[in-house]
Amino acid sequence: MREDTLKMDFAFSEEAKREIKEIMGHYPEKRSALIPLLHLAQKENGYLSEPVMRHVAEVLDLTPIQVYEVATFYSMFHLKPVGKYLIQVCHNLSCSLMGADSLIDYLKEKLGIDIGETTPDNMFTIKTVECLASCGTAPVMQVNDDYHENLTKEKVDALIERLRSN
């Protein structure tokens, strides 16, 4: 972990603290709130830095390694910053039959970055993901929370254009 991230502090917002209280009420054991809290922390901080994970550990009375081992197991948790828009393109079978591979190449070329990279203006990160449960509307990608289905190059162009102007 880099020194600069070690120095940074993290604390949940007041709104998040209220949400945490409600979440904790769902479970008889605090540890069950770990994944929900990591989702919340990532929403507030953009990614799970070491200070973030240490803070979550404190809130839930866990050791830092108990948080770290979970944060590194699940693909939705980011241990380093991602762009404002995280583009996750499915490249599993049904999507690849419907042209996902050429779509991924097109996106890479259009944004000038490789898989796992972020554009210099921190707007876009591209990742490939496994099945998004949208095989009937393939090819599909998820941009932040939203699904974009039955994709074509034209649809990708329009979407990127719209996101850039946001």
Q: Which residues bind other proteins (CB under 8 A)?
A: 26-36, 38-39, 60, 62, 66, 69-70, 73-77, 91-94, 96-98, 129-138, 142, 145-147
- For residue 40 the two structure tokens come to 């919340």
139: preceding bond cis by omega (within 30 degrees): yes
CB of 74 to other proteins, least distance (A): 4
Query: What is each CA distance from 15 to 11, 40, 44, 56, 128, in whole angstroms?
Result: 11, 11, 10, 16, 32
Closer by beta carbon to other proteins, 110 or else 127: 127
Closer by beta carbon to other proteins, 5 or else 66: 66
Closer by beta carbon to other proteins, 92 or else 119: 92
Closer by beta carbon to other proteins, 9 or else 114: 114
Query: What is each CA distance from 129 to 49, 50, 63, 104, 122, in whole angstroms?
Result: 22, 25, 30, 11, 20
CB of 42 to other proteins, least distance (A): 9
CB of 89 to other proteins, least distance (A): 13
